[in-house]
Amino acid sequence: MKKLSFFFACCLFASCSNNTTQDNNNSSTIVVKTPSLPAAPAFNSDSAYAFVKAQVDLGPRVPGTAAHAKCADYLVSKLKSYGWDTQIQNGNISTYDGKKFNLKNIIASYKPEIANRILLMSHWDTRPFADQDSINPTKPADGADDGASGVGVLLEIARQFGISKPDVGIDILLDDLEDYGKENDNGENTWALGTQYWAKNPHKPGYIAQYGILLDMVGATGATFPREGLSSEYAPYIVKTIWNKAAQLGYTNYFVQQDIHGITDDHEYIISNANIPCVDIVNWDFKIGNFAFYHHRHSDNMNVIDKNTLKAVGQTVLEVLWEEQKKKS
Ligand SMILES: [Zn+2]
C-alpha cells in the first residue's frame, strides 16, 4: 500500500476549534432544551462483509483490467441505489513505471444541499503485484483488506444513511490508483495518485470539508488501529472524537490508545493539498512494528476478514457521523 515516512510539513491549520458550545445566559428563567437524538442505527457487519466479498469475487481490481471496470460499475450502482448523488471522476494518470491509466475516482454525495461537509475515503484499487510475497510476487493479491474492506464499510454506512436519512452532509471518495506506488519512494509521490488528482481537481470547485476520515485495511481479525502521526498532528480533535467514541462502544481492543509515526497514505494529500484535516484509521501490527503479515502478499484474501472488526470500525464511524446532527441543532 505505501511506504513509511516521516512528515515534517509545517502546520497547515489553526488549532481545531472545540465544538462544545456554552450557554452564557445564566438567567434561571430560561431553560435550554437540547433536542435528543434518536439512537444511531446498527451497522450491519453481515452486509459490510458481503460488500467486501462482492469486490473480491470480481478478482483483483487492478487498474486497466476488466475486474477494475466491473468493480467501478458495481460501486456506482450500489451508491446510487442508496440515494447518493454519484459520479465517476476520470483523469489521465501516469504511474512510476511509465504506464498510463484512465483514473476512476468514485464520488458520492449525501444531502449535497448541506454546506457543512464531512469527507469519507477509502481506496478501491488493488495493487498490481503482491511484491512483499516470496511466491508469485509479480501477480496481484485479492486485496480483501487492502482496498475492499474500507470500501465495504463505507458502502454499509451509505446504505444505513439511505435508510435513516440523518441531517448530515457527507461525501464519499472511493479513490483509485492509491496502491500503484514505488516501494522505495523517496518523496516522489508515486502513491495515492487518485487522491492527488482529486486534491488538485475536486469534484466541486473550492470544495472544503470540516474534516476527513480515511479507512485503510479495516477488516482483519485482531486489527489494531493506532493514533497515526499525521492524523494526530493535523486533526487531533477528530482523532480524540473517534477514539473516545470507540472506547464508549467497547472497542478499545481495536482503537488502541497508542501512537505511531506518520505514514504515507491518501490522507497526506488531503491534508497538504486539499487543506482538509484528515484521520487515517489503518491497521498496524505492534508486534512486528509494521503493517500486518498479509500486507502486499497473497494472504490478503477473505480469510483475514472478520465481521467483528468491520463492526467495530463501521459502528464507530457511523456514530461519529450521526452525532454531527447535534452540532447543527
Ligand atoms: Zn496497499
What pLDDT, in 10s, does the model give residues 41-77? 999 999 999 999 999 999 999 999 999 999 999 999 9
Task: Report how far ligand 1's centroid is from the alpha carbon of 146 (Å).
Answer: 5
Task: Report how far ligand 1's centroid is from the alpha carbon of 137 (Å).
Answer: 14
- Is 243 within the bounds of a domain? yes
Task: Report how far ligand 1's centroid is from the alpha carbon of 63 (Å).
Answer: 14
Report the C-alpha gap between 152 and 50 in whole angstroms: 8
Q: Whole-angstrom distance between the N-terminal and C-terminal Cα of the chain?
A: 40
Report the C-alpha gap between 317 and 301 in whole angstroms: 24
For residue 111, what is the DSSP state? S
Q: What does the pLDDT look like over 214-245, one tens digit per residue? A: 999 999 999 999 999 999 999 999 999 999 99
Q: At 100, which CATH number?
A: 3.40.630.10
pLDDT, position 2: 57
Task: Report how far ligand 1's centroid is from the alpha carbon of 23 (Å).
Answer: 47
Task: Report how far ligand 1's centroid is from the alpha carbon of 310 (Å).
Answer: 18
Mean pLDDT along residues 247-268: 97
Task: Report how far ligand 1's centroid is from the alpha carbon of 147 (Å).
Answer: 7
- Is 251 within the bounds of a domain? yes
Mean pLDDT along residues 133-162: 98
Q: How confident is the model at residue 19 (pLDDT cuts 50, 70, 90)?
A: very low
Count other Cβ atoms within 10 Å, centred on residue 69.
Answer: 15
pLDDT at 35 over 90: no
Count other Cβ atoms within 10 Å, centred on residue 288.
Answer: 10
Return the closest-CA partner of residue 130 out of 300, 317, 267.
300
Return the closest-CA partner of residue 9 out of 186, 228, 262.
262
Q: What does the pLDDT look like over 78-126, one tens digit per residue? A: 999 999 999 999 999 999 999 999 999 999 999 999 999 999 999 999 9
- Is 52 within the bounds of a domain? no
pTM listed for this prediction: 0.90
- Is 40 within the bounds of a domain? no
Contact indicator for 270, 212 with CB cutoff of 8 Å: yes
Mean pLDDT along residues 171-191: 94
The total number of structural domains that make up the chain: 1
pLDDT, position 20: 40
pLDDT, position 8: 38
- Is 161 within the bounds of a domain? yes
Task: Report how far ligand 1's centroid is from the alpha carbon of 31 (Å).
Answer: 53
Helix (H, G, I), strand (E, B) or coil at 225: strand
Report the C-alpha gap between 283 and 309 in whole angstroms: 10
Mean pLDDT along residues 259-263: 96
Q: What percent of the chain has pLDDT over 70?
A: 89
For residue 289, what is the DSSP state? T
- Is 106 within the bounds of a domain? yes
- Is 11 within the bounds of a domain? no
- Is 28 within the bounds of a domain? no
Q: List the domain range (segments joined by +) for residue 144.
A: 58-328
